[in-house]
Amino acid sequence: MLLLATLEASAAGIPLNPIARWEWVFPLVESLHILGFTLLVGSVVVLDFRLLGICLQRSPISQLARDLAPYIWAGSFVQLTTGPYLFSGDPGDYVQVTAFRNKMAFLLVALTFHIAVMGKATAPQWDDAAPAWRKPVALVSLASWLSVLLAGVWIGSL
C-alpha cells in the first residue's frame, strides 16, 4: 500500500502524475488507450475471423498473421504504456474495484493465449491443414478479448 500511496502524491503534496494535475490529460490518455485497444483487438479479431473461415479465405493464415503482427504489437505497446499511466492516477481506488482486477486477469489470459496458442495455430506448417481444430482456438481468443473489453467498460461505469 505504501507504493500505491507514493504513486498518488509526492512528499510536497503535488501529484506526481499529470493525470491528477491537469484535467485534459486523462481524456487524452484514455482516448489513446481506447485507440490502442481498438488497434490490438481489431487486428486479433480479423485473424480470429480468418481462423473461423469468415473472411479473407484466399489469404494463407500464416501470411495474414505476419501482416497483422506489427499492428498487434503496436496496439499492445500503446495499451501497456497508457494503462499503467491511467492506473497511476488513482491506484488505491483501482485495486479495490472488482472490474479492474477482472480486467487485469482477463488481459493476462488473453495475452498469454495469444502468444502461446495463436502462434501455434497460425504457424506456416498448418496453412494447408483442415481448419476444424483452429475454430475453438479462434472462439477462445474472441471470448478472452471480449472479456477484457467488457471488464474495461465496467470499470468506466463505476
pLDDT 10s digits, 72-120: 999 999 999 998 888 887 777 888 888 899 999 999 999 999 889 888 8
Q: What is the pTM of this model?
A: 0.78
Q: For position 78, what pLDDT does the model report?
A: 94
Mean pLDDT, all residues of the chain: 82
**How far is it, in rounded angstroms, from Cα 69 to Cα 44?**
9
Instruction: Retrieve residue 122's grid coordinates.
Output: 497460425
* Residue entry with cell 486523462: 26
Amino acid letter, residue 48: D
Q: What is the dihedral of CA 88, 156, 95, 44, to 10 degrees?
A: -80
CA distance 158 to 153: 9
The string of pLDDT tens digits covering residues 37-53 is: 999 999 999 999 998 88
Distance in angstroms (rounded) separating the CA atoms of residues 122 and 105? 24
Q: Which of 81, 69, 83 is nearest to 40 (CA)?
A: 69
| Confidence (pLDDT) at 66 | 92
Query: 1 with 40: CB under 8 angstroms?
Result: no
Q: Is the pLDDT of residue 17 over 70?
A: no
Percentage of the chain surpassing pLDDT 70?
81
Domain coordinates of the chain in residue numbers?
Answer: 2-156
The arithmetic mean of pLDDT across residues 63-78, rounded, is 93
Write the DSSP symbol of residue 12: T
Closest CA to 51 of 144, 129, 110: 129
Among residues 116, 35, 117, which one has the least CA distance to residue 76? Answer: 35
